[in-house]
């Protein structure tokens, strides 16, 4: 149940910036007046709006307004995934817990660096989680920073035009993943969820290396076609 004051605030916001979620619309500039009202709003008041946004819009709210309700929704969506991923990669329950906290804290702190043209929200958070895991397990100078810098250094990026429309592609990708033959989806899952090399995967599955390679290639070719295809 939304209290009257909350409805009022949301009403003002709706006219300004958040009529309904669309990735591009949510990225538009926020009018100063709207921003003032959003700052006035408290978590409880904003949550019905936050709950109706796609993750990309939530990240934008976190970036622009330091919106804790939007962040809470993101936490609900992705913290369980981060935990599941950490455990598949071999983390203990305790370190998975710690990792969830660290990754979601990075999401809060780095939301303003999120670029929706480059990746959808899930991919962005996945990459943060992967980098944190690598830093954590290896007890070595963190690689995260360096990878980010590699990206920055690349500067004005000629790759930009080759990029996919990340949100639409994500939907197509989800469908394509579901349609992969079981044997192909198995090698992808082991590769991504456990970080195994193809050689180690061949040992694990008791398959010749060539078989693992060709299954991986077939699966990725199919997904790449999906990611490349015009929307």
Site for other proteins in 93-152 (CB under 8 A): 97, 100-101, 104-105, 108-109, 118-120, 122-127, 129-131, 133-134, 138, 140-141, 143, 145-147, 149-152
d(CA 75, CA 105): 10
Range in contact with other proteins (rule: CB under 8 A) among 4-12, 20-28, 44-52, 162-170: 162-170
What would the x/- binding string for other proteins be over residues 172 to 211, using CB under 8 A?
A: -xx--x----------xx-xxxxxxxx-x-----------
Q: Report DSSP letters for 154-210, one per residue.
A: H-S-GGGGG---HHHHHHHHHHHHHHS-HHHHHHHHHHHHH---HHHHHHHHT--HH
Q: Which is nearer to other proteins, 1 or 152 (CB)?
A: 152
Q: Which of 72, 27, 33 is nearest to 49 (CA)?
A: 72
Burial string for 111-131 (b: 16+ CB within 10 Å, else e) reads: beebebeebbbbebbbebbbb
Site for other proteins in 56-75 (CB under 8 A): 68, 71-72, 75
3-state DSSP call for residue 220? helix
Instruction: Kindly state the smallest distance separating residue 27's Cβ from other proteins, in Å.
Output: 19
Q: Which is nearer to other proteins, 29 or 160 (CB)?
A: 160
Q: Is 163 in the site for other proteins (CB under 8 A)?
A: yes
The answer to whether 132 and 103 have CB atoms below 8 angstroms apart is yes
Instruction: Kindly state the smallest distance separating residue 67's Cβ from other proteins, in Å.
Output: 11
Site for other proteins in 7-66 (CB under 8 A): none
Instruction: Kindly state the smallest distance separating residue 180's Cβ from other proteins, in Å.
Output: 11
């Amino acid at each position: 149940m939304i209290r009257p004051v909350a409805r009022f605030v949301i009403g003002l916001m709706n006219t300004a910036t958040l009529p309904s979620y669309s990735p591009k619309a949510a990225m538009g500039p926020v009018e100063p007046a709207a921003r003032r009202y959003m700052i006035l709003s408290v978590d409880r008041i904003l949550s019905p709006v936050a709950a109706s946004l796609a993750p990309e819009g939530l990240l934008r709210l976190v970036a622009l307004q330091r919106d804790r309700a939007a962040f809470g929704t993101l936490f609900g969506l992705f913290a369980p995934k981060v935990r599941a991923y950490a455990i598949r990669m071999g983390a203990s329950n305790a370190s998975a817990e710690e990792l969830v906290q660290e990754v979601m804290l990075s999401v809060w702190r780095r939301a303003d660096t999120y670029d929706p043209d480059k990746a959808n929200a899930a991919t962005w958070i996945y990459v943060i989680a992967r980098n944190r895991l690598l830093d954590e397990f290896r007890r070595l100078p963190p690689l995260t920073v360096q990878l980010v810098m590699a990206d920055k250094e690349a500067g004005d990026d000629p790759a930009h035009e080759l990029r996919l429309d990340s949100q639409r592609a994500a939907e197509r990708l989800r469908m394509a993943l579901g349609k992969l033959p079981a044997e192909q989806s198995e090698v992808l899952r082991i590769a991504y969820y456990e970080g195994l090399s193809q050689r180690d995967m061949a040992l694990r599955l008791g398959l010749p290396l060539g078989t693992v390679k060709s299954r991986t290639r077939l699966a990725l070719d199919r997904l790449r076609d999906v990611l490349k295809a015009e929307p």
